[in-house]
A and B are shown apart, each in its own frame.
Chain A
Amino acid sequence: MRKMLAAVLSRVVSAAARKPARPVPAASCTYCSDATFEIPKCDLYRLEEGPPGSAALARQDGLRYYRAMLAVRRLELKADQLYKQKLIRGFCHLCDGQEACCVGLEAAIAPSDHVITSYRAHGVGYTRGLSARAILAELTGRRGGCAKGKGGSMHLYARNFYGGNGIVGAQGPLGDCVHMCGME
């Protein structure tokens, strides 16, 4: 009797614990595989051709960008919370709401391209390859941060990412020259 009960219970518990399998065979997929966006025509200045009139976004890419944007959003919301708890000191410039800027930028370039930005650097740092752990460790002044805790919010650096610049406008000439050197 007890053995039967135990068996039934264990079956019920394991059934509840097991995630229901939902395989989606590609052939009979009811989702779109890509989406097309119309890009509004813009005036050109000293250019022969402008950007293309439409862009196609594949499903896989769309999911990838969405995942990245969501990660940046959660990173920024957590940074906001930590800042209010005074675990992050000094300045904390957030980009929750602007995730598409850094994710879209990264989507259009290669990891070997060079990027520089102003003080609103968390999202760009993430898309440039810094882990959320490295960013949050830097924001909270820990040795495991990307700048060993010595830089803080505005001074995140990564490979081919030249910061994080605290002085407004400083990134302009810096970025121009990084670009010019890269063109050689």
Chain B
Amino acid sequence: MAAVSGLVRRPLRQVSGLLKRRFHRTAPAALQVTVRDAINQGMDEELERDEKVFLLGEEVAQYDGAYKVSRGLWKKYGDKRIIDTPISEMGFAGIAVGAAMAGLRPICEFMTFNFSMQAIDQVINSAAKTYYMSGGLQPVPIVFRGPNGASAGVAAQHSQCFAAWYGHCPGLKVVSPWSSEDAKGLIKSAIRDNNPVVVLENELMYGVPFEFPAEAQSKDFLIPIGKAKIERQGTHITVVSHSRPVGHCIEAATVLSKEGIECEVINMRTIRPMDIETIEASVMKTNHLITVEGGWPQFGVGAEICARIMEGPAFNFLDAPAVRVTGADVPMPYAKILEDNSVPQVKDIIFAIKKILNI
């Protein structure tokens, strides 16, 4: 009897089951965006938002950018907003600073920051110092951006890191993005900032995809300049870095966590004004510190972090001297074996961490 009633009931259940059927849904794949596309998006959104913003530099318009960072912008905004310049950094950086003084909001692209040395007088003397020298009368809302630091096989004159050089100067803000999220948020904040901002990108990071969180896809996504991000929580040692080496630090931390060492990795995001509070809070928790950067050791970003930690409250919490892992103190050699050993590698970071922790 029960079996018969079961037979009768089953088709009804099956019918209602059919009516309840939906399409089989998988969780949406996280959006992957390369650093190049993130910068492109950031600039596109700011160009659209404010008509005073414009981009100038070598090959930015018709060639879509030497590294294709400004792809599609010339087609969308035209000659008046995206401007190709002759090969004269001193010339076009000066023009950009003049435009900023007159009230426009230029983005001045250097093909690499090595070439910004040709124009460094305009960046420092004409842009950085002006707001102070004029007693607050003349702001210079300009953004200098471009790839910084070592690339692959481009030898001495094309591989220098300028974080320490620009970070030294009052009047400038200096940011150094690592991930796509950093890149988009920081370029947008830089463009909206009324001060001269130097954005140190990295050529080797341009093609690297990162997961793009939902809030980063908004047109008003900004990352505040002057705030670091803790990329990975840890308890044994604080590892502070900026730009491409942040990835190496995270890799080193992953390797070491298998041995039971938990590293706290801090992505500085901003070189100047430095977020020393985040680093101090972390050091007070972990009692150990190393800094990692691609630039040369003397008078570098790591040297400044160590000096400030020593001058501040976190010094009393250190159980070992703070140590810097940096690029080798030589002009970048060309031969691959020499070049690979002139930049900090994951094994160098692991070695330094173990040395500090006395393991």
Contact = CB atoms under 8 A, between A and B. Distances in A.
Our verdict on whether A and B bind, yes or no, reads: yes
A154 B118 CA distance: 18
Contact of B334 (A149, A167, A168, A169): A149
Contacts of A23: none
- For A91, A149, A152, A166, the residue with the greatest tally of chain B CB atoms inside 10 Å of its CB is A152
A154 B155 contact: yes
A51 B250 CA distance: 66
Given A166-B155, A166-B157, A151 B334 contact: yes
A184 B161 CA distance: 39
B333 A150 contact: yes
B335 A141 contact: yes
A89 interface: yes
A165 B335 CA distance: 18
A62 B272 CA distance: 62
A142 B337 CA distance: 10
A150 B155 CA distance: 7
B115 interface: yes
Nearest to B159: A90
B158 interface: yes
Contacts of B169: none
Contacts of A169: 87-88, 118
Given A141-B335, A149-B335, A155-B334, A90 B118 contact: no
B204 interface: no
Given A152-B153, A154-B157, A141 B334 contact: yes
Interface residues of B, number: 20
A149 B155 CA distance: 10
Interface in B141-192: 151-158
Interface residues of A, number: 19
B358 to A, nearest CB: 36
Interface string A77-101: 0000000000001110000000000
Interface in A151-184: 151-155, 165-169
B333 A166 contact: no
Contacts of A147: 334
A49 B233 CA distance: 78
Contacts of B88: 169
A155 B152 CA distance: 16
Contacts, number: 63
Contact of B152 (A90, A154, A165, A167): A90
A108 to B, nearest CB: 28
Contacts of A141: 153, 334-338
B114 interface: yes
Given A90-B334, A150-B338, A167 B115 contact: yes
A151 B334 CA distance: 5
Contact of A167 (B114, B336, B338): B114
A166 B334 contact: no
Interface string B100-129: 000000000000001101100000000000
A152 B118 contact: no
B156 A155 contact: yes
A144 B114 CA distance: 28
Interface in A111-148: 138, 141-142, 147
A155 B151 CA distance: 17
B38 to A, nearest CB: 26
A91 B118 CA distance: 20
B141 to A, nearest CB: 29
Nearest to B155: A152
Interface in B299-346: 333-338
A117 to B, nearest CB: 14
A166 B334 CA distance: 13
A142 B334 CA distance: 9
Contacts of B337: 141
Contacts of B154: 90-91, 152
Contacts of B153: 89-91, 141, 152
B87 A151 contact: no
Contacts of B336: 89, 141
B338 A90 contact: no
A161 to B, nearest CB: 17
A141 B334 CA distance: 6
A168 to B, nearest CB: 5
Nearest to A167: B157
Contacts of B158: 90-91, 166
13 contacts: A90-B151, A141-B334, A141-B335, A142-B335, A149-B334, A151-B155, A152-B334, A155-B334, A166-B155, A166-B156, A166-B157, A167-B118, A167-B157
Interface of A: 89-91, 138, 141-142, 147, 149-155, 165-169
- What are the 3 closest A-B residue pairs judged by CB atoms, nearest first? A89-B153, A90-B153, A152-B334
Given A89-B334, A150-B338, 15 more contacts: A90-B151, A90-B155, A91-B155, A91-B158, A141-B153, A149-B334, A149-B335, A150-B333, A151-B155, A154-B155, A165-B157, A166-B155, A167-B115, A167-B118, A169-B118
